[in-house]
């Protein structure tokens, strides 16, 4: 079924750089949203909060605020904890709109919650920025004001396939082993289509339910399929479990790429040397080469802190020992995109902002930003592929972003037991 066409205010002319005389310059700009600080997404929620706070530090302290009519307006973030419960989001977003009078909304984490609060945003005509709703389906529902910062789910595992295709034409047999959930299914549906397109043979494509305790049945079946590369994962716990049990059952492949879990430093802490060589897709990674210089080379405007600055602010709010995950980066980037759109619109009017988004093409530390004007889906942003090498995450794909060479094929479990690292 075709998604309903969205009546975007596309035809309107791009707003002028100067404010119209009647537009008042606001005292401050408030972005509001809920985060999952408790409950099943607490990990992502906490990261997002820190990412947002880091972005705001740059925005207010370095940039001085958003430039509207020549005046710098400070930005605030108002948030509540939605506990990852679908019942809470509507009421909290309603409160953000009516009581806290926020100007722009940051959507909650996960596709479900993003959908849940969408009607409230839409009814009140507030721009609704998704920083953690990866599902492509959100943008097929005909909501006017949803905009996405991150790459959609269908892109998560395509990078790994691209890379293998480029460096090892002999690797043909792919196995998919992933969580039976909305998000992972979207990821691997995209991956499967792409794999077939690239000429891979999908020799195994099976799911496991949420919160598995033992993946042996699935993995021993997969082992028999003798895959060259294994793509899998879902969330944190199962991703860790997947890697652990691959090790236990000594299932070797030339490449293992797991979504979500390997992105967090705790992944390596937990698995130790077993994590060596494991690859994961990320919306962002420390070390990505999105810099003002790179932007200039591409002829696209750069906005926001540099990566180093972001890292520094992040550590200021989160603590010295913390490294941002991509969840932090995408939330921070969402704030920057909102700020830029408001600046471009020179107004806090929702239609003007939404319109400004359509014409917004920029690079931040998180990467490119450019949306599909009709649906609001992110088109510009690229995912990266990283690999745990010698206890560090090294970006290995795409080549433009890479900070190191892929270690391929990855060491076998037996080798890793001997202490072999995925370093040359």
Residue 11 is classified by DSSP as G
E-strand ranges in 317-379 read: 362-364, 367-369
Rounded distance, CA 196 to CA 201, Å?
7
Q: Which is nearer to another protein, 135 or 355 (CB)?
A: 135
Q: Which is nearer to another protein, 71 or 266 (CB)?
A: 266
Give the residue, chosen from 8, 48, 88, 283, that forms a contact with another protein under the rule CB under 8 A.
Answer: 88
Q: Which is nearer to another protein, 273 or 336 (CB)?
A: 273
**Dihedrals phi, psi of 136, to nearest 5 degrees:** -65, -25
- Within residues 356-385, the interface with another protein by CB under 8 A covers none
Give the residue, chosen from 14, 17, 99, 198, that forms a contact with another protein under the rule CB under 8 A.
Answer: 99
Interface with another protein includes 95 (CB under 8 A)? yes
Q: Which is nearer to another protein, 16 or 320 (CB)?
A: 320
Q: How many CA atoms lie within 13 A of 53 on its CB side?
A: 17
Q: Which is nearer to another protein, 196 or 248 (CB)?
A: 248
Interface with another protein includes 412 (CB under 8 A)? no
How deeply is 420 buried, as exposed, middle or buried, from its count of CB atoms within 10 A (0-12, 13-18, 19+)?
Answer: middle
- The torsion of the CA quartet 128, 130, 133, 137, rounded to 10 degrees, works out to 60
Interface with another protein includes 212 (CB under 8 A)? yes
The interaxial angle of helices 326-345 and 350-358, nearest 10 deg, is: 110
Interface with another protein includes 187 (CB under 8 A)? no
- Within residues 272-291, the interface with another protein by CB under 8 A covers 272-274
Q: Which residue has the tokens 């939330």?
A: 331
Output the smallest distance, CB 123 to another protein, in A.
4
Residue 87: both structure tokens together: 């019942």
Give the residue, chosen from 92, 259, 353, 401, that forms a contact with another protein under the rule CB under 8 A.
Answer: 92
Interface with another protein includes 214 (CB under 8 A)? yes
- Within residues 105-164, the interface with another protein by CB under 8 A covers 112, 115-116, 118-120, 122-123, 137, 140-144
- Within residues 10-39, the interface with another protein by CB under 8 A covers 35, 37-39
Give the residue, chosen from 74, 86, 370, 420, that forms a contact with another protein under the rule CB under 8 A.
Answer: 86
Residue 331 backbone class (left: φ over 0; alpha: ψ -120 to 50; beta: rest): alpha
Q: How many CA atoms lie within 13 A of 408 on its CB side?
A: 23
Sign of the Cα torsion 265, 270, 273, 279 reads: negative
Output the smallest distance, CB 98 to another protein, in A.
3
Interface with another protein includes 193 (CB under 8 A)? no
Interface with another protein includes 399 (CB under 8 A)? no
Residue 38 is classified by DSSP as S
Output the smallest distance, CB 217 to another protein, in A.
4
Interface with another protein includes 204 (CB under 8 A)? no
Binding part of the chain for another protein, among 65-73, 267-275, 361-369, 376-384 by CB under 8 A, reads 267-275
Residue 210 backbone class (left: φ over 0; alpha: ψ -120 to 50; beta: rest): beta
Binding part of the chain for another protein, among 155-163, 242-250, 289-297, 373-381 by CB under 8 A, reads 242-250
Binding part of the chain for another protein, among 81-89, 163-171, 338-346, 380-388 by CB under 8 A, reads 81-89
Output the smallest distance, CB 116 to another protein, in A.
4
Closest-CA residue to 236 (of 271, 276, 274, 264):
264
Output the smallest distance, CB 424 to another protein, in A.
24
Rounded distance, CA 346 to CA 356, Å?
9
Q: Which is nearer to another protein, 237 or 295 (CB)?
A: 237
Interface with another protein includes 192 (CB under 8 A)? no
Closest-CA residue to 66 (of 56, 52, 78, 51):
56
In degrees, rounded to 5, the angle at the alpha carbon of residue 41 between the alpha carbons of residues 86 and 374 is 65
Is there a cis peptide before residue 306, judged by omega within 30 degrees of 0?
A: no
Helix (H, G, I), strand (E, B) or coil at 30: strand
Output the smallest distance, CB 363 to another protein, in A.
30
Interface with another protein includes 244 (CB under 8 A)? yes
Binding mask 38-57 for another protein (x = CB under 8 A): xxx-xx-xx-----------
Give the residue, chosen from 18, 20, 98, 197, that forms a contact with another protein under the rule CB under 8 A.
Answer: 98
Q: Which is nearer to another protein, 209 or 399 (CB)?
A: 209
Rounded distance, CA 127 to CA 354, Å?
6
Helix (H, G, I), strand (E, B) or coil at 151: coil
């Amino acid at each position: 079924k075709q998604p309903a066409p969205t009546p975007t205010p596309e035809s309107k002319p791009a707003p002028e750089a100067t404010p119209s005389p009647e537009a008042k310059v606001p005292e401050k700009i408030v972005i509001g949203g809920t985060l999952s600080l408790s409950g099943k997404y607490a990990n992502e929620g906490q990261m997002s909060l820190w990412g947002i706070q880091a972005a705001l530090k740059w925005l207010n302290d370095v940039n001085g605020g958003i430039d509207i009519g020549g005046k710098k307006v400070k930005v605030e973030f108002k948030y509540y904890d939605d506990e990852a419960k679908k019942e809470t989001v509507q009421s909290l977003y309603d409160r953000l709109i009516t009581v806290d009078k926020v100007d722009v909304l940051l959507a909650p984490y996960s596709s479900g919650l993003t959908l849940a609060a969408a009607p409230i945003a839409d009814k009140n005509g507030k721009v609704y920025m998704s920083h953690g709703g990866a599902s492509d389906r959100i943008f097929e529902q005909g909501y006017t004001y949803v905009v996405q910062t991150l790459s959609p789910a269908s892109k998560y595992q395509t990078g790994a396939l691209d890379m293998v295709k480029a460096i090892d034409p002999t690797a043909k047999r792919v196995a998919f082993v992933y969580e039976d959930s909305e998000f992972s299914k979207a990821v691997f549906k995209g991956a499967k289509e792409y794999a077939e397109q690239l000429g891979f043979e999908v020799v195994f494509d099976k799911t496991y339910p949420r919160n598995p305790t033992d993946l042996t049945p699935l993995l021993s079946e997969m082992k028999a399929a003798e895959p060259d590369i294994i793509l899998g994962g879902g969330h944190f716990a199962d991703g860790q479990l997947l890697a652990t049990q691959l090790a236990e059952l000594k299932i070797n492949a030339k490449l293992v790429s797991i979504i979500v879990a390997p992105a967090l430093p705790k992944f390596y802490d937990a698995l130790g040397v077993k994590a060596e060589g494991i690859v994961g897709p990320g919306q962002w990674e420390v070390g990505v080469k999105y810099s003002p210089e790179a932007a200039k080379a591409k002829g696209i405007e750069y906005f926001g802190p540099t990566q180093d600055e972001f890292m520094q602010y992040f550590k200021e709010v989160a603590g010295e020992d913390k490294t941002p995950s991509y969840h932090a980066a995408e939330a921070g980037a969402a704030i920057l995109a909102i700020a830029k759109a408001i600046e471009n619109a020179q107004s806090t009017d929702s239609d003007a902002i939404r319109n400004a988004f359509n014409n917004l093409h920029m690079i931040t530390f998180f990467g490119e930003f450019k949306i599909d004007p009709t649906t609001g889906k992110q088109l510009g942003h690229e995912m990266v592929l990283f690999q745990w090498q010698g206890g560090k995450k090294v970006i290995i794909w795409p080549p433009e972003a890479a900070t190191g060479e892929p270690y391929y094929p990855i060491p076998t479990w037996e080798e890793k037991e001997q202490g072999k690292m995925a370093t040359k």
